[in-house]
Structure formats: structure tokens, C-alpha cells
A and B are shown apart, each in its own frame.
Chain A
Amino acid sequence: MIDDDTLHSWFVRDILPLERGLTGYIRRNWRTAEDVLELRQDIYERALTGARRGIPSNSRAYLYTVARNHLINQATKSQIVSIEAVADLDTVDRSLDLFEAERVLDARDKLRLAQTGIDKLPPKCREIVILQKVKGFTDREAAEILGVSVETVRRQIKLGMKALIDHMLGGSGRIVRSDYRARKKRVKKP
């Protein structure tokens, strides 16, 4: 049994940097775009659960095996995905390297990436992220400076955080304000 600290550092060091590639892989092999984040979370969980019994020697191959198996399982359960999609999965592996050269970011890249991420945020959210992340003010101080409530600051920083995390890990980095009611309706449709 692998302890949490080891598991955590493995996950952060070996798995999360692959997120961009993994997300692309899921996206290419799944028809319903809305499921991608859900599937990715499932894959992370399965990867962690498996690694608890022993840290795999080739993390990358391991992650994609977990991903493929999960997608196949989901596809066979699901009515939405056709059987051709499943067949494709086996061939995808070989082309992975061509598609996704995961970039190891150095400090300068990270800074540049984070800056473009910040620039994408809506103005109010950006201002609060800058006050907290760049200038180091606490939420209370940021609230005082801007004359808004601490709750507002926390809500905005959370939105900014979510967008920036996605951005840093290779996603769009756009703020997605999900209208959950609308989405529910859509899901219920046959």
C-alpha cells in the first residue's frame, strides 16, 4: 500500500503534466464533449486507486491504459457511443506521441503561460486575481482595496482559479459559468 505523500507526489510529478494530452485523447475518442471533464476525473481516480497498490514504472503508458480501459467500459455501457469508436481506441496509442508532445515548462514558460491566462479573465476577476496572486494581498485586504465584500473576492478568486488551473494544465482557460439547470434538461433528453 502506497502512502498518501508518495501517491500525491507521483500524481503531481508524473500524471498531472500529462493532462493536456489526456484531455485531447478523451476528446478525440468520445462523442459527447460535455462528458470529457467527467471522464477525466474518473480516469484520475482510477489511476490513483491503481497506483495505491504500487507506483507504475511507466506512468505515461499506465495512464493511457487506464484511460482506454475506462473509455471502453463506458462506451460498452453507453448507448451514445458507437462500436467503431471503441475499435479506434486501440490504434490511437501509437499516434499519441505525434499528437501530444507534452511540454515540460520551465519557469519562463510558466510565467508567460500564466500571464496569457490572466489576460483571458474578465476584468473584475482579473483585478482580484492580480491583487491576491501577484501582489500577495489576503482576501480581506483585497476586499478593502476594492471596496467589495470578502465573499465577492472569494467568489471571483474561485472563478479565476478554476480558469487559470485549466489554462495552466492545457485547457482553454475560459471561465465557464455553467447553467446547471439548463444542463440538467439537456442531459435528460433521450
Chain B
Amino acid sequence: MRRQASIENQALDWLVKRQSPEWASDDHDDLDAWLNESIAHKAAFWRAEYGWRQTDRLQSLGLKAGLVAARSQARFRWIPFAAAASLVAFLAIGAFAFGPDLANQPRTIVQQVQHQTAIGGREEFELPDGSRVELNTSTTVRAAVSEARREVWLDSGEAFFDVVHDPDRPFIVHAGGKTITVLGTKFSVRRDESHAIVSVLEGRVRIDELAGPSHKVTIVEDGGTAYSRNSSILLAAKSAKRVRNSLAWRKGELSFEQAPLSEVVSEFNRYNETKLLVSDDDAANILIGGSFKTSSTDSFVRLLRDAYGLNIQREGDTVRISTY
């Protein structure tokens, strides 16, 4: 191998290695030592580093705001920093890269909170980092914000997250056997016994499937919805409208586009003590479109009676809907 090719090759190896989250302060010392071996090494490495940095604008095509750019800043720093600082930087990157693996490690909890809503309830709260969380009906979440990461456990229900960018602190939502790591900004997670639905309004999120034999990773981009049941994930085709419909609850509404009555009814039932019950298939398959107030079961039922000619019977807390 020619001299130049060999030096360039080594310089590129260093650059690749330094991008890796496993890069530690020891590696940094090794790189320094290599650079100090000769001016040739410096010339080649500085050139490669400079050239590679010229492509940084590409990041603007990926994530809308700062996460990647800021992460790479932390990682691409070559100017020697104090050992302590580099350790912190490494931990932050490491925590992001390994995600849940580091969950067991002790760290200072800055604040831990729990929030809960009753059936039909809605609540919004702010985390210490400024991120906002909106809880839908019948939802329980716990949140812990530390210096290294921001974590939310969605124990049940549905929540919408508007996450403040903080490259040093990944934002992670745990929903059963899944973790959703935020690479972008606004998204919602809904969870019940068997499945989880992740809808992304802005930016991108990563879903890690931890249950089951293999660790699966799914990326959901804005306008995307991921339906996961047990260990399989269905990624719906991009539809900003579907995502907006699924987030109508944030305005206290339910929004449907030609959804079967059975589905509409089960949505209503999430928000109300009064339970709607569809007693025959003909009624269950009627397609419904439009927006409704989550709380107005009565007017919805009246609509079914008046517009669709369905038969309505009340029995205590149950409203029975049928075609005859």
C-alpha cells in the first residue's frame, strides 16, 4: 500500500471509530498519540475530519431540529477536553445508544412524578426540562428526569408528548415491552392490554421491542403510525390525517373517517362511564365519519337514532344499539 493511502486509511479508521458511541477517553488519548506521531497523520486526519464535517448540512434533511447535529457536535469534538468532561459526554451518548440497557445503573433522579386521569379525564403537565405531556382518558404515567435521561413509563392509557430537544438527555417512553426513544419532537403513545399504538405528529421516534426472542427496532417518521400487538409491529402508510384524527382527543374530540360503528363505540367507551353496546353485526358495520365531543355520548346516540334509524335502549349505565 502506498504511504498516502495507508495514512488516509488510518485517519478514516479513527474518524469512524470516533463516531461510535463506544468511543471513550482512552480512545481519545490513543488518537492524540497517533496524531502526535507525525505531521503526516495530522494532515490526513485534519483533512478527513474537515471534509466529513462539510457534509454536516445533510443532517438538516433528517431530523428537523438539532438532535443529530448536537449529538455529533459532542462526538465530533476533537479538541482535547478534560477527562471528566469527556466521561460525561460519553455517558450521555452511551445512555442514548444503549437505551434501556443502562436503565439499571444508578443515577441521580432530579424529579420523579406520577400523574393519573380518570375515565373521561384529560390532564397536561410539564416536566422539569420543559417537555409537555398530555394525558388522555384513564391514563397513568410516571416520569423521571435525571441529568442523563428523561424517562416516562406509560402504565396504561394514552399520552401525547411534546419533547424539548436536549441532545444530552434522550427522552424515552416505556410502554410494556416496548421503549420509544425520541429522535424528534411530537408523538403519542397509546397502550392497552395487548397492543400499543405510536403516532408521530412531528419528527421521528424509534421503537425498541424488548419482549420476545429478538430485539427489534422500528422507526416511525412524522405522519406515521405503528400498531404493535405482542411482538409484531405494523407500520401504517404515512398519513398525516390519520395521525391528526388519532390526536383529536387533545381537543376533547373523537375524529373518524369511515370507521365501523363497533370501533367508534369502543372509542367512546374509553371516555365515558356510560358504556355503549352494539348488539348486532349490521349495526356494528355501519361506517361513521366525523368529529364528536368525547363526553357527549347522548348526542352521539341521538345522532345514531335520528340519522341512521338505529334502535336505542338504555339499561342503567349501558346503552344498547341495534338495527331493530
Given A111-B60, A138-B21, residue A158 in contact with residue B12 (CB < 8 A): yes
**Cα distance A110–B61 in the bound complex, in angstroms:** 13
Please, which residues of chain A bring their CB within 8 A of the CB of B19?
132, 138-139, 157
Question: Would you give the shortest CB distance from A63 to chain B, in whole angstroms?
Answer: 12
Judging by beta carbons under 8 Å apart, are B2 and A144 in contact?
no
Q: Closest B-chain residue to A16, C-beta based?
A: B50
**Cα distance A178–B79 in the bound complex, in angstroms:** 32
**Cα distance A152–B42 in the bound complex, in angstroms:** 27
Mask: chain B, 1-35; 1 = CB below 8 Å from A; 0 = not: 11111011000110110011100000000000000
Can you list 5 A-B pairs, Cβ within 8 angstroms, ordered by A? A8-B42, A111-B61, A114-B58, A133-B59, A134-B62
**Interface pick from B63-71, B106-114, B127-135:** B63-71
Residues of B within 8 A of A (CB-CB), count:
47
Please, which residues of chain A bring their CB within 8 A of the CB of B60?
111
Chain B interface mostly:
helix
Please, which residues of chain B bring their CB within 8 A of the CB of A139?
16, 19-20
Judging by beta carbons under 8 Å apart, are B43 and A162 in contact?
no
Judging by beta carbons under 8 Å apart, are A41 and B97 in contact?
no
Cβ contact of A41, chosen from B1, B43, B50, B206, cutoff 8 A: B43
Q: Is B307 at the interface (CB under 8 A from chain A)? A: no
Cβ contact of B54, chosen from A8, A45, A169, A178, cutoff 8 A: A169
Cβ contact of B3, chosen from A38, A105, A117, A136, cutoff 8 A: A38
Judging by beta carbons under 8 Å apart, are B47 and A165 in contact?
yes
**Cα distance A11–B4 in the bound complex, in angstroms:** 18
For window 248-288 of B, CB contacts with A under 8 Å fall at none
Seen from chain B, the residues whose Cβ lies within 8 Å of a Cβ on chain A are 1-5, 7-8, 12-13, 15-16, 19-21, 39-40, 42-44, 46-48, 50-52, 54-63, 67-68, 71-72, 79, 97, 183, 204, 206, 215, 217, 219
Given A114-B55, A136-B183, A162-B12, residue A37 in contact with residue B4 (CB < 8 A): yes
Judging by beta carbons under 8 Å apart, are A38 and B48 in contact?
no
**Cα distance A128–B54 in the bound complex, in angstroms:** 18
Chain A interface mostly:
helix
Judging by beta carbons under 8 Å apart, are A144 and B215 in contact?
yes
Interface centre among A5, A52, A105, A165 (most CB of B within 10 A): A165
Cβ contact of B55, chosen from A5, A144, A164, cutoff 8 A: A164
Please, which residues of chain A bring their CB within 8 A of the CB of B20?
138-140, 154
Please, which residues of chain B bring their CB within 8 A of the CB of A136?
59, 62-63, 67-68, 71-72, 183
Q: Is A185 at the interface (CB under 8 A from chain B)? A: no
**Cα distance A50–B67 in the bound complex, in angstroms:** 40
Judging by beta carbons under 8 Å apart, are A8 and B57 in contact?
no
Beyond A110-B55, A111-B61, 15 additional contacts (C-beta under 8 Å) are A16-B46, A38-B2, A38-B3, A44-B44, A110-B57, A114-B57, A118-B58, A136-B62, A136-B183, A139-B19, A161-B52, A162-B48, A164-B52, A169-B50, A180-B5
List 6 tightest A-B contacts by C-beta distance, closest first: A165-B51, A136-B68, A168-B54, A111-B57, A44-B43, A134-B62
Q: Closest A-chain residue to B75, C-beta based?
A: A138
Judging by beta carbons under 8 Å apart, are A37 and B39 in contact?
no
Q: Is A85 at the interface (CB under 8 A from chain B)? A: no
Question: Would you give the shortest CB distance from A175 to chain B, in whole angstroms?
Answer: 12
Mask: chain A, 54-68; 1 = CB below 8 Å from B; 0 = not: 000000000000000
Please, which residues of chain B bring their CB within 8 A of the CB of A45?
39-40, 43
Question: Would you give the shortest CB distance from B17 to chain A, in whole angstroms?
Answer: 8
Question: Would you give the shortest CB distance from A38 to chain B, in whole angstroms?
Answer: 4
Please, which residues of chain B bring their CB within 8 A of the CB of A162?
8, 12, 48
Please, which residues of chain B bring their CB within 8 A of the CB of A4?
42
Q: Closest B-chain residue to A176, C-beta based?
A: B5
Question: Would you give the shortest CB distance from B37 to chain A, in whole angstroms?
Answer: 13
Q: Is A188 at the interface (CB under 8 A from chain B)? A: no
Q: Is A183 at the interface (CB under 8 A from chain B)? A: yes
Q: Is A107 at the interface (CB under 8 A from chain B)? A: yes
Question: Would you give the shortest CB distance from A150 to chain B, in whole angstroms?
Answer: 8
Please, which residues of chain B bring their CB within 8 A of the CB of A82?
none
Question: Would you give the shortest CB distance from A115 to chain B, in whole angstroms?
Answer: 7
Mask: chain A, 97-121; 1 = CB below 8 Å from B; 0 = not: 0000000010100110111011000
Question: Would you give the shortest CB distance from B225 to chain A, in whole angstroms?
Answer: 19
**Cα distance A144–B39 in the bound complex, in angstroms:** 38
For window 131-177 of A, CB contacts with B under 8 Å fall at 132-136, 138-141, 144-145, 154, 157-158, 161-162, 164-166, 168-169
